């Protein structure tokens, strides 16, 4: 019996060092997978702000540290020397929150226990979960580890609720400027059945990267926010994952393929 995505070519647009997991999940369902990163993940231009935040964690200046992505986990914790990392969170008596299961898994890979994962894997869900856990955010000191670009909902909403929020940029997200010629040709000739989009920044970067070839396939979004970003650049998503996880994203591709078996 053929797998659900047999005969389907799917484009993965995550940063190259993060593409393997999604590629493997798609290939397990029978897809032929192409990879074209739309953004590159780089260290911050200066580590001074991160280093200062780490020192403040050690001084117990925060009640919570909030991680919004696995990239933030990796860059922040790799900046902390291994022997220092083992003591950092325990000695600081700081609680740790992750925006979703992927971010939580990245923290656990570094040996960090996760105290909170929201039911909704986004900034709004994280603030709601913090409020539920603490009953009040008034006077709470939060450290938010984030990318160089993206929404500032977490900081704004927590501040409205009385928290003091320190944001630290742990990595930069920059657009890839030139597409792979073979991928662009496959897109223009309608040989790509689906493309996956895992963030709002990715959606906008893809529109710039591919230009008028961008609408030449069906795009599947990781979340409603990502779907809205696709719509903002003129593309209606073929499907939206039910949860903001890679497994759910693959399920959404499978669902879209079943709905349009002839396309």
Q: Give pLDDT tens digits for 101-153.
A: 999 999 999 989 999 999 999 999 999 999 999 999 999 999 999 999 877 88
Q: Are 222 and 198 in contact (CB under 8 A)?
A: yes
Q: What is the mean pLDDT of the chain?
A: 93
Query: Nearest CA to 39 among 203, 180, 169, 253?
Result: 203
Domain finish residue from 145, 173, 201: 173
pLDDT of 261 reads 58
Candidates 114, 109, 110, 112; CA nearest to 97 is 114
pLDDT tens readout for residues 204-242 = 999 999 999 999 999 999 999 999 999 999 999 999 999
Q: Tell me if 184 is assigned to some domain.
A: yes
State how many domains the chain has. 2
* pLDDT over threshold 70, residue 26: yes
Q: Which of 151, 173, 195 is the last residue of a domain?
A: 173
pLDDT (0 to 100) of residue 151: 76
Please report the pLDDT score of residue 152 as a whole number: 84
Give 118's contacts (C-beta < 8 A, 6+ positions apart): 97, 99, 100, 125, 126, 128, 129
Please tell me whether residues 61 and 112 are part of one structural domain: yes
Structural domain including 248 reads 9-38+176-259
Does 4 reside within a domain? no
- pTM for this predicted structure: 0.86
Are 15 and 37 in contact, with CB atoms under 8 Å apart?
yes
∠14-174-151 over CA atoms, to 5°?
85
Band (90; pLDDT cuts 50, 70, 90): confident
One domain, residues 16 and 66: no
Residue 67 lies in a domain: yes
Mean pLDDT, to the nearest integer, of 57-62? 93
Would 1 be classed as within a structural domain? no
Same domain, 71 and 124: yes
Q: Is the pLDDT of residue 1 over 70?
A: no
In angstroms, rounded to a whole number, what is the distance separating the alpha carbons of residues 30 and 27? 5
| Domain termination site, one of 129, 157, 173 | 173
Task: Read off the pLDDT of each residue in 85-91 and give the average, rounded to a whole number.
Answer: 77
The whole-number pLDDT of residue 83 equals: 67
pLDDT tens-digit profile of 185-201?
999 999 999 999 999 88
**Whether residue 122 is found in the same domain as residue 210:** no
Alpha carbon of residue 7 to chain centroid: 28
Please, is 243 exposed, middle or buried when counting C-beta atoms within 10 Å of its C-beta (0-12, 13-18, 19+)? middle
**Do 77 and 126 have their domain in common?**
yes
Task: Give the CB-side neighbour count of residue 226, counting CA atoms within 13 A.
Answer: 27
Q: What is the CATH number of the domain that holds 156?
A: 3.40.50.10090
Q: Give yes or no: residues 24 and 131 share one domain.
A: no
Instruction: Answer yes or no: is pLDDT of 48 > 60.
Output: yes
In a domain, residue 33? The reply is yes
Q: What angle do CA 222, 144, 241 make, to 5 degrees?
A: 10
């Amino acid at each position: 019996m053929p797998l659900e995505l047999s005969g389907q070519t799917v484009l993965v647009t995550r940063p190259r060092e993060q593409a393997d997991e999604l590629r493997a999940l798609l290939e397990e369902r029978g897809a032929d997978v192409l990879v074209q990163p739309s953004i590159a993940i780089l260290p911050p231009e200066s580590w001074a702000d991160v280093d200062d935040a780490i020192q403040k964690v050690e001084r117990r200046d925060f009640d919570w540290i909030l991680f919004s992505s696995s990239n933030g986990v990796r860059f922040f914790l790799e900046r902390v020397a291994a022997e220092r990392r083992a003591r950092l969170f325990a000695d600081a008596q700081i609680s740790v929150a992750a925006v979703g299961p992927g971010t939580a898994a990245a923290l656990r890979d570094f040996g960090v226990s996760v105290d909170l994962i929201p039911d909704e894997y986004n900034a709004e869900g994280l603030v709601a979960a913090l409020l539920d856990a603490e009953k009040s955010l008034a006077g709470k000191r939060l450290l938010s580890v984030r990318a160089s670009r993206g929404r500032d909902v977490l900081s704004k909403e927590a501040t409205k609720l009385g928290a003091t929020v320190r944001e630290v940029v742990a990595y930069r997200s920059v657009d890839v400027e030139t597409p792979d010629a073979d991928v662009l040709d496959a897109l223009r000739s309608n040989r790509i059945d689906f493309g996956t989009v895992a963030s709002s920044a990715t959606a906008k970067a893809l529109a710039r990267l591919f230009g008028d070839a961008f609408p030449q396939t069906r795009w599947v979004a990781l979340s409603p926010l990502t779907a809205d970003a696709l719509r903002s650049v003129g593309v209606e998503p073929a499907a939206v994952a039910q949860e903001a996880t890679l497994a759910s994203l693959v399920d959404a591709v499978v669902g879209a393929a079943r709905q349009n078996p002839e396309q």
